[in-house]
Structure 1
Amino acid sequence: MKLHLSQPVSNHINSTIRITGSKSESNRILLLKALYPNVSIENTSNSDDAQVMEKGLKISNGVVDIHHAGTAMRFLTAYFATQEGKEVVLTGSQRMTERPIGVLVEALRSLGAEITYVNNEGFPPLKITGKKITQSKVSLPADISSQYISALLLNASSLENGLELELVGKITSVPYIKMTLALLSQLQIENTFEGNTIKVYPKKDVKANTLVVESDWSSASYFYSSIALADLGSQIILSSYKENSLQGDSVLSEIYKSFGVETIFNENKVVLKKISTPKLNKLVWDLANAPDIAQTIAVTCFGLGMGCYLTGLHTLKIKETDRLEALNTELTKLGAAISVTDKTLTIAPTMAINKDIAIDTYNDHRMAMAFAPLAFKTSLIINDAEVVSKSYPDFWTDMKTIGIGVV
């Protein structure tokens, strides 16, 4: 599906949007519910990823196809490996078979798990035979995707002796690890995080509990970008959000101050207001703890004519696509002076934006959504626009609500 985006009749926004639950939180709680069936969930994400996660957890034998869902691949690898009596082949899309899983598989094998590679060493598909795991100590590199770490932590309390996980080196994506541990704590599953060592203690049963998923901060980023690119005085109200969020992407409220956007927390809503024009010529920010908002921030800077130097992006190369190279290609088409390394992105200030450029999305939902707010500055085309359903099925309807022409 190809969509043509046109500039709003007015660049002044005054809208209210409800965003469904966080994909990251939903997938964690869905796994915990599979381990502890008396856990209930409210405001679950309506994303493709959450749906394939929920479906996959119900399969005990046979093929589990998680399509493009990287979180589900990591979480379910650890889940099936630690569930005695289950035997599955865990697979996904063509891109998923190119995304490395070896670090997690080796960690699970060192605990006694039985996992073999169906095709290529280090990559899905995986044949997993669930076993009773009694070993309780394992180590992982600290600078890998936090999803590998969370995959182990989420399943740890179901192990006979729990888990002691040592992270070797400098830890990245700390907020996502803390999100996982906070959810365990909500279920009274004892855990500690001291220095580079995380311990999760065994727990056979938990009390009946309802966990409410906060709305997705990654999804909120596209409205932050829209407000930044819109006229002064523009406002969007988003729900449901809380000030002390578990999600690392809530750092948006700090970052977007540089773009003249004020964030006001009001009960379970957040109000975004464009209160000033940006005074910075160049944004410098380390996104190691929030890499999923890098695309949005890069596009915002380009749309405002600002330069940027974004660091901490080393995990972007193994996402749905190599996001750094994808940004390099698509922003260059629009007229940006951009350069990338394996972990940084640099854009030089420029006020020229090419019109009616077709943006390729590379089977990556965030490529489609990050570029959409540029419609406040120029008309553009989004190829394979349906990819947004991976995390945000209502995205294009909500873009219309804030005034963007979507045909």
Structure 2
Amino acid sequence: MRVLLMAYGSRGDVEPMVGLALSLRALGAEVRVCAPPDFAELLGGVGLPLTPVGEPLRPVVKAVVTGTAPPKAEGLAQRVTALLTTAYDAIAPVAEGCDAVVATGLVPAVAAARSVAEQLGIPFRTVAYFPAYLPSPHHPPLPWPGRPLPQDVTDNRVLWDLNAESLNALFGGAVNAHRASIGLSPVDDVRDHVLTGRPLLAADAVLSPWPEPSDLDVVQTGAWIRPDERPLPAGLEAFLDAGEPPVYVGFGSIPVREAEDVTRAVVEAVRAQGRRVLLSRGWADLEPTDDKDDVHVIGEVNQQALFGRVAAVVHHGGAGTTTTAARAGAPQVVVPQLADQPYWAARVAELGIGAAHDGPTPTFESLSAALGTALAPGTRTRAEAVADSIRTDGAATAAKLLLDAIGRERPPVSA
């Protein structure tokens, strides 16, 4: 059996797919992966060849988030069309001979993946990494840039109807024009077309439960976690052994505005708590602002091995980092920047396993208050209790469900 996985987005979109890929491979399936070229090393490290989709994403994301992107000559419709075409052209050849397609990421890329599956007549699944991405009467949708939710509307079903209208306005014309160009019929509702009626929810039911009753037949599998057996670098081990557990600070594959000011505020707030700092460069390119020896800078490391040895984790609130810290029983301070990150910040606070920073721009004062909560003994006790309840078999569960579904749904082989 052969499965194509497509993830067009940041590392938070791609790494869970690696966890699923390894579980599928353990069950005997062949796996092919399409993703931005930024993640060739990540995939190559576990023996998964990458078919790249488009140009490297990191410089684009950094320019957009930090406000340094040059003005685009083309409009939104042209950019959506370009991504649809680029994604389709990358995915279609790799999908030949596959038995199913699983996709996540930006709407145009997922729409292209579904078109490929439709042309081949094979099963298609969309995956979400947090509940609020999926329509529900129990929560509102995330606001789209330039399309804020109306303040006077509180009915979630009405808000989700407006969300569908927004996505049709943003993507409908380009999606249907592309579908027509490859011989497919138009769709009336881009959002529902991309999500399907039975999406996968790769999130832990304790950290982020799916509320019922629901209008969708959501299959919550638990988070998809890539097994990571890499040892920590010798320099990091030496730093950890040289004193009390430090506070980890990193924003993953999310750039931040005014990175130097943010770094200075975070480091000084951690020092004020009497703690050392582990500073992860990440896509924010964090670097120390002085040469004191209580700050150790790291690159890509095994967070599963690291987070159980730190006093707290200060991060952006991506699904993967939140889940990894929660599994390790490490208190968290979430400084959300965009997308799903405010959701995860709220969940960390609601569960009592850390603090949600108010807004994306930390100051010494705001971080000091949040760290005071995270480093309190009661928060550590609560975080360790929650860690014991988090499932670790989400990717294996999803792989088995997916292969069983493919066996039921794929067309019979003609004699």
TM-score range, shorter chain: 0.3 to 0.5
TM-score (norm 2): 0.32
TM-score (norm 1): 0.33
As a proportion of its length, which structure holds more helix? Answer: 2
- Which structure is higher in RCO with an 8 Å CA cutoff and minimum separation 6? 1
As a proportion of its length, which structure holds more strand? Answer: 1
